[in-house]
A and B are shown apart, each in its own frame.
Chain A
């Protein structure tokens, strides 16, 4: 049986990621109670977020450029200051334990944690972008994520093309996709973390 209450997760996503959240959430709840489907509700939420982001990016182009530069600067800096030392430390620890040098993360289970090292930088950069662009954080973090995904696309395309021609490249493609995917998620989580912190502060 269909509940008279609109989907809770969708409402949470809407109020968290859309600027016109309260009025729009009220309208959606009203329409849902009049018999609209769950799919309709989710579609409205996704479109509202995308349209909101698009509008904010279009009306704040300079701010968007600043957000992307901020994200990349934080990413490069965290790479040198956090990811690289962590990677070297882990690699040395493996050698010291007689497990050999670190080559690929899928070599053995003990190398698996290394795929999370770049995520630390991703999380921090996402958090910083959201923190420095509080009013338009969703749009700014989204644009930064798009720039990261675009930067990784040529390598993805190269590996995908190679994999079509030669199945030997498939593990490389999967490895790259997994790392890129985790990286993008870590940026989004960083942005979300900033949103959560501010929501908690505003409730106090």
Chain B
């Protein structure tokens, strides 16, 4: 069996948020997406640390946007999921589905 790293819980959440946001994926909307849909408070620093790690692995790419006045003249950094990243998300989903199936404790969605 080949050794491979599946995405961690938070990494997966960040990747899914970036995928959902499409072209407008930068720090603030990613934070909101995770807080609203994930139902947990997260820190922007943790999101950037995770995105940095994912970028090193080649799963996301980023580019700097234009500076805006409401940000004190600071630029946004936009992220998008690469093809390799998309494959990794699908692979993690497949693995999780297989583990999920046939567990009597999780029948009906209650755990």
A: residues with CB less than 8 A from B are 18, 20, 22-31, 33, 43-44, 47-52, 55
- Pick the residue among A20, A25, A26, A48 that contacts B43 (CB under 8 A): A48
B77 at the interface (CB under 8 A from A): yes
B: residues with CB less than 8 A from A are 26-28, 31, 43-46, 48-49, 52-53, 64, 67-68, 70-72, 74-77
Q: Which residues in B have their C-beta under 8 angstroms from that of A29?
A: 70-72, 74
Chain B interface mostly: helix
- Pick the residue among B43, B49, B74 that contacts A22 (CB under 8 A): B74
Q: Knowing A23-B77, A31-B31 touch, does A51 contact B71 (C-beta < 8 A)?
A: no
Docked CA distance A110–B26 (Å) = 58
CB distance from A20 to the nearest CB of B (A): 5
Docked CA distance A52–B71 (Å) = 21
Q: Knowing A20-B52, A22-B75 touch, does A27 contact B43 (C-beta < 8 A)?
A: no
Chain A interface mostly: helix
Q: Is the CB of B49 within 8 A of A55?
A: yes
Q: Knowing A23-B74, A26-B75 touch, does A51 contact B46 (C-beta < 8 A)?
A: yes
Q: Which residues in A have their C-beta under 8 angstroms from that of B70?
A: 29-30, 33
Docked CA distance A20–B45 (Å) = 8
CB distance from A31 to the nearest CB of B (A): 6
Residue among A18, A22, A27, A29 having the largest count of chain B Cβ atoms under 10 Å: A27
Q: Is the CB of A26 within 8 A of B52?
A: no
Q: Knowing A27-B26, A31-B28, A47-B43 touch, does A20 contact B74 (C-beta < 8 A)?
A: no
- Pick the residue among B27, B53, B68 that contacts A23 (CB under 8 A): B27
Docked CA distance A22–B68 (Å) = 12
Q: Which residues in B have their C-beta under 8 angstroms from that of A28?
A: 44
Q: Is the CB of B72 within 8 A of A26?
A: yes
Q: Is the CB of B75 within 8 A of A44?
A: no
Q: Is the CB of A24 within 8 A of B45?
A: yes
Residue among A20, A23, A43 having the largest count of chain B Cβ atoms under 10 Å: A23
